[in-house]
Structure 1
Amino acid sequence: MDFQTLERLVAAPGQQPDFKGCVEAIPALTRLASTPQEPAYHGEGDVWTHTCMVVEAMVGGSDYERASAEERFVLFYSALLHDIAKPDTTVIDEVTGRIGQPGHSRRGSIDARILLWKAGVPFSLRETICRIIGVHQVPFWAFTGDRSGHTPEFLAHRLSWELPVWMLCAMATADMEGRLYESKQSVLDDIALFKALAEEEDCLYSAKAFPDDYTRVSYFRGARIHPAFSHYREEKGSDVVVMAGMPASGKNTWVEENLPTLPVVSFDDAREALGLAHGKNEGAVAHYAVDTAKSLLRSREAFVWNATHLSKQMRKKTLDLLYQYNASVRIVYLEQPERIILQRNARRDTSLRNQDIQRMLYRWEVPLPSEADVVEYRA
């Protein structure tokens, strides 16, 4: 499978998709046909039946018809891959027999990322697809119950910094149209309402405007402020560059070439200072690195935090600490093709094996533009 093959499979508006060709190009889709779904929400049956109905609904929709070729690629594969993780997340209650797939959206975004990365899909197209898959159900429940307590307005604002909200709404609409569900029309109405809200908030087709980055980051991190007015900043802390990317993606070289005079907080340096191999006593390594960072933050000194920061959870720990000290944060994300990553790692003097990197892929979440003051992608 390669990008050109995937491009050829994108159906024209109103055209019957070549599902046989899709399965041949993406063998992981074969598992969907044997994966059951909860009948109360999916009267049509298995995941593959649902997926085909969703893709047909997408291709027949007005948003798809108006979209550019690149946008159709994103919409087509968002629909085709939106439930790719259901086989691995299916849980059947032994007592009631009810079927659930908890976490399939988040896991699906990672599975799709690995698949599309290996196929050589351009970064911007791939990440838009993965971001849509990761939150494809949000318009279903934005008005009826976000567990985090966020308002629909907040969700629309934040999502607009992560993906085109109109595409997310097109995906949610196709997902609901492509099923047999008693309350389908009620959910479709909620999706339409969310889309109308985003348009009213000027973030359906572009990112929500903020007075400055500090206000935006404070708002997304939970400050109870109005996004239209600048948030007062009592003091400014360190300017911190947070590196992110897989091992052997070039982070050390980038830092040496672009920020040679700044102090560097590094887990690799911490391991070397402590005399530990990769994967050994990671708690002590983290403690050493955090103590180093805190010292720099207290003196408000600019520095680089150089680590993989591969998952959102890993980045959150770093970002929470930095913003606690009023730092300004610039995330620099680096990426290379799989072949280069594995070749480079095999040549390095490291205890990290290529098999370890392959396992790390299943925690791979590319930084979102909403996570920091500035997020740069060098892929």
Structure 2
Amino acid sequence: MWQLTSRKSWKELEQQFRFVRAMRDVPQDPRCHAEGDVAVHTRMVIKQLLRLPGYRQLSPLDREILWTAALLHDVEKRSTTVIEADGSITSRGHARRGEQTARELLYRYFPAPFHIREQIAKLVRYHDLPLCFFEKPDPLKSLIQASLEVDTHLLALLAEANVRGRISPDRDELLERIAFFRAYCEENKCWGQPYPFSSGLSRFTYFYKEDAFPTYEPFDTTVCEVVLLSGLPGAGKDTYLAQHLPGWPVVSLDDFRRQLRIDPADREGTGYVVQMAKEKAKSLLRQHTSFVWNATTLTRPIRQQLVELFAAYKARVRLVYLEVPYPQLRQQNRNRLHVVPNVAMDRMIARLEVPASWEAHEVVYEVR
């Protein structure tokens, strides 16, 4: 069974992991964290987690996933903490940045199987959701989206440990919010499981159309299919195309760059390349011709722009994410005709956002 470490005392954690040592002296607002800095809080959260009956009832693997998420849940308060003009202390964005750090750590340095790594990363990303989901513009959509990415039962346990592992005057109120989170999940069929959409089209419509209902099953009006690839350089996108989609028209950003001799680091040139690729895609879409969009598309905003473009032309979108282990990625990158520099590759890994199942009509994970 995978473990981040078997040496779990706080002293040993500080000896093993630089990111644990970096929690020392990161301040927190005493109004909601009177216990002290991030290191003190994280240590208390882990202690409280181990005491929870719900935690002890989990499988050994789920306990390890949840323990690791608790260790990492505030890992990026170190980079996001700000002392405001009024003296308050904030750390806006620490959960989102923490997700990326957790993913990078468990991909590059302490390898975890894909499904384990992503569950930990998403627990870090959503660890505050049970406390604030009803303040979201669309609470139900926020809840359903989270259920497609993370186990809401594990999420509630992490949130409870997070609350119990602090000294704050509103602790009882926060625990009531977690209880309400569970009840709302159960009412909407996503407690400990993904929301059960009737089809990929229903799921896609719910997330991409205004005022859509999760139970709505739309009529399928798609006229062609676009396969949108996502993956780091060296992950095997060209090999996947040759094996699974031979003969399909391909819109490739790298092909345009090489034809026009534009350096990937040239932002203005890259913008021109993307525009040319989109024009070629539109031409194929107008002809109702299925094709492949071959690029890294590592972040969600970039993918969403493309998915919305393809869907506007009534295309069904199949999003294929490709990944290989980090050592293999390095080797395959070195064997490429056009090698990506290590520094550039590391930047890409740091900002990688693995596609979620709701981002397209169908999401396929080709992970080795």
Range into which the TM-score falls when normalised by the shorter chain: over 0.9
The answer to whether residue 72 in structure 2 is matched with residue 74 in structure 1 is: no
CA contact (8 A) 1:58 1:174 kept: yes
Moved more, 317-326 or 78-87: 317-326
The answer to whether residue 156 in structure 2 is matched with residue 165 in structure 1 is: no
User: Structure 1 regions of 5+ residues with no counterpart?
Assistant: 10-16
Runs of 4+ in 1 over 3 A off after TM superposition: none
Match for residue 56 of structure 2? 65
Task: Give the alignment of 1:93-104 within 5 angstroms.
Answer: 93=84, 95-104=85-94
Letter in 2 for 1:103: G
Task: Give the alignment of 1:121-140 within 5 angstroms.
Answer: 121-140=112-131
Give the RMSD, CA atoms, in angstroms: 1.6
| Superposed displacement of residue 47, structure 1 | 0.3
User: Structure 2 regions of 5+ residues with no counterpart?
Assistant: none
Task: Give the alignment of 1:347-366 within 5 angstroms.
Answer: 347-350=335-338, 352-366=340-354
Match of 2:4 among 3, 6, 31: 6
CA contact (8 A) 1:74 1:125 kept: yes
Distance 1:297 1:18 in 2: 57
Match for residue 264 of structure 1? 250
Match of 1:49 among 40, 44, 50: 40
CA contact (8 A) 1:7 1:73 kept: no
Match for residue 182 of structure 1? 169
Letter in 1 for 2:360: A
Query: Residue 212 and residue 347 in structure 1: after superposition, are their counterparts in 2 closer, same or farther (change >3 A)?
Result: closer
| Superposed displacement of residue 224, structure 1 | 1.6
Distance 1:53 1:209 in 2: 36
Percent of aligned positions that are identical: 34
Match of 1:33 among 24, 27, 31: 24
Match of 2:200 among 205, 208, 213: 213
Letter in 2 for 1:297: L
SS in 1 for 2:201: helix
| Superposed displacement of residue 313, structure 1 | 1.7
Match for residue 241 of structure 1? 227
Match for residue 142 of structure 1? 133
Letter in 2 for 1:190: R
Letter in 1 for 2:95: S
Distance 1:33 1:130 in 2: 22
Letter in 2 for 1:365: E
Distance 1:212 1:348 in 2: 38
Q: TM-score, normalised by structure 2?
A: 0.95
The answer to whether residue 178 in structure 2 is matched with residue 191 in structure 1 is: yes
Task: Give the alignment of 1:277-292 within 5 angstroms.
Answer: 277-280=263-266, 281-292=269-280
Distance 1:196 1:75 in 2: 21
| Superposed displacement of residue 351, structure 1 | 5.9
Letter in 2 for 1:8: S
Distance 2:276 2:117 in 1: 36
Count residues in correspondence.
364
CA contact (8 A) 1:346 1:354 kept: no
Match of 2:306 among 318, 338, 360: 318
